[in-house]
Each structure stands twice: as structure tokens, then as C-alpha cells.
């Protein structure tokens, strides 16, 4: 019997003082935790100490990396800042790569305005794809967020948001389950011989050296050989 439990942490995507998104993230964590066979935890990006004089995997935080590595899916709570995502959220997301691959992600937009963070969600989509995450086709939107919670931080119209979350979670659980099965059971063996670069069409010096070509600006073109069915890589300079 396959293990049907899933670990789906929630990333709170802003460190801002007075942020409203923390109320949204706490509500989401509660709802995820209430579901059968789901484990979750809140990842507050405010608690990740990160330098700003470098970028990418060299800034990997061991705890963040281990949590993402263990995750089967993710929920990102992203407030809309000038129609985009908070810079610190992107800076932290960029510290991992392999940890995300073939895992599901659901996006939650938060905004002071009436559009529920739809623009931050649109802007996050290409980032998710490049990280190797698989987005679901439902989002969560919290518009006019300042009016949604009472003084104690509780959602005023909880039933509406519980209903919306159910649809979103059904999809996220389905996608996370399918991808977990895929990661465990579906082999990528055929491609092992060429060690596919996770960042397709980008310079890949390590493989270029093995192919005996110029390592500086070699880009690999990956294609399927129509006769043998084998995946082939050719160097394009
Ligand atoms: C730098 C910055 C830019 C913002 N830009 C937008 C925006 O483009 N659209 C919008 O609806 N709200 C915008 N807001 C308001 C936030 O959406 C609002 O603060 C909301 O509560 C969610 O963010 P928070 O978690 O930081 O509170 C912006 C807030 C900041 C701090």
C-alpha cells in the first residue's frame, strides 16, 4: 500500500512590519492541518537569515532546504507589491533548485486592492515553472485584506474562504499525490546517459567539457533521436 500522507508547508512571503499576509497564512495552515493525512508547517521568510551580497544556491539555508526537500507540495502566500512579488520572497526561493523539482505548488495572492493579488500570482507563474514546480489551476485570492479579519485576526466570513480552500486543497492534494507517485515510481532512466540539465537551454559547462567543446558559452540542444528513441544532446555555440 503506497504511503498516502503528504507534507505541504506554507511559505509566508513577506517580512514586512504590520503585514496582513500573516493572518492569511495562519488561516491556511489551520485549514491544511485539519485535513486527513496532511502535515504542514509555516515557513516565515522573516525567520530565514539571508545575506544580500550574493544570490542563488550559494545562499542555501540548511533548514529551508531540508523542509523544501521533504515537502510533497507547497503553498506560497504572496502579497502584491507594485503588481509583483516581494523581493525577499524571490531571493529566498532562488536558494533552492533540485528541492522543488516535480512537486506541486498552490499560490495565494493577498492585496489591499480589489484584485486579490491576481497580478502577483501571474508574475509568480513563470518563476514556479523555472524552479521545476508544477502549479495547480486554482488559486486563492484575498482582496481588500484589511477588511477581511477582525481585531483578533479571525476571518470574518470564514465559510466563504473555507469553501474556496476546499476546492484549492482538493486540487493541490491530487497534484501532490500524483507527483509523489511519479517521483517514487516513474523512472527517468532513459535520460540518465546524458544527465539532463535542469535549466534547459542554458550554458552547461560541466557537460560541455565532457563533450570536448568550449565550456564558456556552450548551450545544449536536447532532442529525441527518431530512429533509436534515445535522448541526445548536441552542443550549440
Ligand atoms: C511596497 C508595497 C507595494 C504595494 N503594492 C500594491 C499593489 O500593487 N496592489 C495592491 O493591491 N496592494 C499593494 N500593496 C498593499 C499590500 O497588498 C497590502 O499591504 C496587503 O496588506 C498585503 O501585503 P502585506 O502582507 O505586506 O500587508 C503594496 C504594499 C507595499 C508595502
Backbone dihedral angles phi then psi of residue 16, each to the nearest 5 degrees: -60, 135
Q: Please provide the CATH number assigned to the domain covering 6-185.
A: 3.40.50.360
Ligand 1 atom 17: the closest Cα is on which residue?
111
pLDDT digits (tens, 9 = 90+) for 94-120: 999 999 999 999 999 999 999 999 999
pLDDT digits (tens, 9 = 90+) for 20-70: 999 999 999 999 999 999 999 999 999 999 999 999 999 999 999 999 999
Residue 35 contacts residue 65 (beta carbons within 8 Å): no
Of 10, 109, 112, the one to substitute when testing ligand 1's pocket (max ligand atoms within 8 A of C-beta) is 112
CA–CA separation, 96 and 118 (whole Å)? 25
pLDDT digits (tens, 9 = 90+) for 122-146: 999 999 999 999 999 999 999 999 9
Ligand 1 contact, 145 CB (< 6 A): yes
Domains in the chain: boundaries: 6-185, 189-236
pLDDT number for residue 4: 85
pTM: 0.83
pLDDT number for residue 225: 73
Q: What ligand 1 atom has the least distance to the C-alpha of 83? A: 8
Q: What ligand 1 atom has the least distance to the C-alpha of 24? A: 25
Asked if the model's pLDDT at residue 196 lies above 50, the reply is no
CA–CA separation, 211 and 236 (whole Å)? 12
Of 16, 22, 81, 141, the one to substitute when testing ligand 1's pocket (max ligand atoms within 8 A of C-beta) is 81
Ligand 1 atom 26: the closest Cα is on which residue?
19
Ligand 1 atom 15: the closest Cα is on which residue?
112
Give kind and range of the element (H or E) at residue 33: helix 21-33
Asked if the model's pLDDT at residue 172 lies above 70, the reply is yes
Amino acid at each position: 500500500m503506497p504511503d498516502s500522507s503528504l507534507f505541504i508547508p506554507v511559505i509566508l512571503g513577506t517580512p514586512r512590519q504590520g503585514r496582513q499576509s500573516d493572518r492569511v497564512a495562519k488561516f491556511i495552515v489551520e485549514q491544511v492541518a485539519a485535513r486527513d493525512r496532511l502535515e504542514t508547517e509555516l515557513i516565515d521568510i522573516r525567520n530565514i537569515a539571508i545575506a544580500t551580497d550574493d544570490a542563488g544556491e550559494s545562499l542555501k539555508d540548511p533548514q529551508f532546504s531540508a523542509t523544501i526537500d521533504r515537502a510533497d507540495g507547497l503553498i506560497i502566500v504572496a502579497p502584491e507589491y507594485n503588481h509583483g512579488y516581494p523581493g525577499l520572497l524571490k531571493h529566498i526561493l532562488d536558494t533552492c533548485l533540485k528541492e522543488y523539482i516535480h512537486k506541486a505548488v498552490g499560490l495565494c495572492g493577498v492585496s489591499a486592492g480589489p484584485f486579490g493579488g491576481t497580478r502577483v500570482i501571474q508574475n509568480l507563474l513563470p518563476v514556479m515553472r523555472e524552479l521545476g514546480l508544477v502549479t495547480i489551476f486554482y488559486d486563492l485570492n484575498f482582496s481588500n485584506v484589511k477588511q477581511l479579519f477582525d481585531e483578533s485576526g479571525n476571518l470574518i466570513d470564514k465559510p466563504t474562504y473555507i469553501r474556496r480552500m476546499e476546492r484549492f486543497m482538493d486540487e493541490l492534494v491530487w497534484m501532490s499525490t500524483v507527483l509523489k507517485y511519479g517521483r517514487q515510481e516513474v523512472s527517468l532512466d532513459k535520460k540518465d546517459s546524458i544527465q539532463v540539465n535542469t535549466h534547459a537551454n542554458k550554458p552547461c559547462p560541466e557537460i560541455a567539457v565532457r563533450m570536448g567543446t568550449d565550456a564558456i558559452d556552450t548551450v545544449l540542444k536536447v532532442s529525441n533521436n527518431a530512429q533509436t528513441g534515445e535522448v541526445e544532446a548536441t552542443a550549440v555555440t
